[in-house]
Amino acid sequence: MSNNVYLIKLVSIGSSPLSVVVHTLSRVGLPAVLPCSVASHLDHRPHIQWQTISDSVFERMGQEQFQGEAYRDRADVPEELLVRGNCSLFLQDVRFSDAGIYESYLVVGESSIKNRILIQSVHLAVIDHKDIKSVQTGAELILDLHTHQAEQVIFQNSNETDWTVLWEKDAVINKKDYLEKRDNKLILSNVTARSAGTYKVLDSEGLALSTVKATVTVELLILCLMKAQSKLHFLS
C-alpha cells in the first residue's frame, strides 16, 4: 500500500449477490461516483480493491492506499465512508479513457494468501457536453472548457464548411477576435454575426469534450434601422 510492493497471492473465491452490473454515466471532466457497499461489521478496517479489466484503479486498507498510474490524484474511497460500509469509488476529472467496467473486491485473510470477494461490477459511460447559446452582437460569448484536459478550441462558421483553430492551450491562434481565458472558460468579446456557428473543445486526442452551437442576434441593430426608416418616412 502507499505504492509499496506486496508479494501477496490473491485468490478470487466468489461473488457477492450484489455483483450484478450497475450502470452509471458521467460527462467528461466532471466527478463520478461508482457505487459500492459492504457490510461494515465485517472489519473495522475493510480492505477494498477497485480495478478494471486491465488496470488497478484504487486500493485502501485503513489509511494505507494505492492509486493506479492512470488514476493518480483522481481516485479515492474515503476512509470515513469505508468504515461505515460505503466502498464507492470517487473519480475526479473523468476522462473518455475511464469508460468501461469496474469491479470492487473485498480482500480477506490474514496470511500471505488472501482471498478476494467480488462486491460490485459497475459500467461507467462517459459522454461529452453539448450546449446551445444565443448572444447579441457586441456581447460576450462564454465557452466553458469544462476540464484541464482541454487542449484546443475549433470553430466552424454557420455559412462555411472549414474548421478554424480559434484557441490552443497557452497560445492565442486567431487574433481577429478578442479572446481571454478566465476560470477555465474562454471569453469571446464583442461578437459579430460571423461569430455564429459551431465551437468544439478538443482534448489531446482530438476528441470533442464539448460542442456548442452559437447563434448571434441583431435585434438592436434591426430596431435602430427600423426607427431610422420610420423617422425618414415621417420627415418625407
3-state secondary structure string, the chain?
CCCCCCCCEEEEEEECCCCCEEEEEEECCCCEEECCECCCCCCCCCEEEEECCCCEEEEEECCEEEECHHHCCCEECCHHHHCCCECCEEECCCCHHHCEEEEEEEEECCCCEEEEEEEEEEEEEEECEEEEEEEECCCCEEEECCCCCCCEEEEEECCCCCCEEEEECCEECCCCCEEEEECCEEEEECCCHHHCEEEEEECCCCCEEEEEEEEEECHHHHHHHHHHHHHHHHHC
The pTM assigned to this predicted structure is 0.79
- Is 5 part of a structural domain of the chain? no
Residue 147 lies in a domain: yes
Phi, psi of 200 (to 5 degrees): -125, 130
Is residue 47 domain-shared with residue 65, that is, in the same domain? Answer: yes
Does one domain contain both 108 and 141?
no
Flag whether 2 is in a domain.
no
The three cell numbers of residue 61 are: 486498507
Domain co-membership, 139 together with 165 = yes
Q: 62-105, pLDDT tens digit by residue?
A: 899 999 999 999 999 999 999 889 999 999 999 999 999 999 99
Min mean pLDDT across 34-38, 85-89, 179-183 is at 179-183
Assigned domain for 182 exists: yes
Is the domain of 84 the same as that of 144?
A: no
Q: Does residue 230 sit within a domain?
A: no
Mean pLDDT of 164-193: 80
Instruction: Kindly state whether residues 136 and 189 are assigned to the same domain.
Output: yes
Model confidence at 221: pLDDT above 80? no
Same domain, 151 and 185: yes
Same domain, 122 and 135: no
Whether 231 is covered by a domain: the verdict is no
Instruction: Quote the domain boundaries for residue 43.
Output: 10-127
Distances (CA, A) of 172 to 77, 79, 119, 186, 221: 39, 43, 49, 11, 30
In a domain, 185, yes or no: yes
In the chain, the number of structural domains is 2
Kindly state whether residues 74 and 117 are assigned to the same domain.
yes
Range of 21-25, 217-221, 232-236 with top mean pLDDT: 21-25
Report the CATH number at residue 97.
2.60.40.10
- Give yes or no: residues 101 and 142 share one domain: no
Verify that 19 and 120 share a domain, yes or no: yes
Beta partners for 195?
none
- What whole-number distance in Å separates Cα of residue 58 and Cα of residue 48? 8
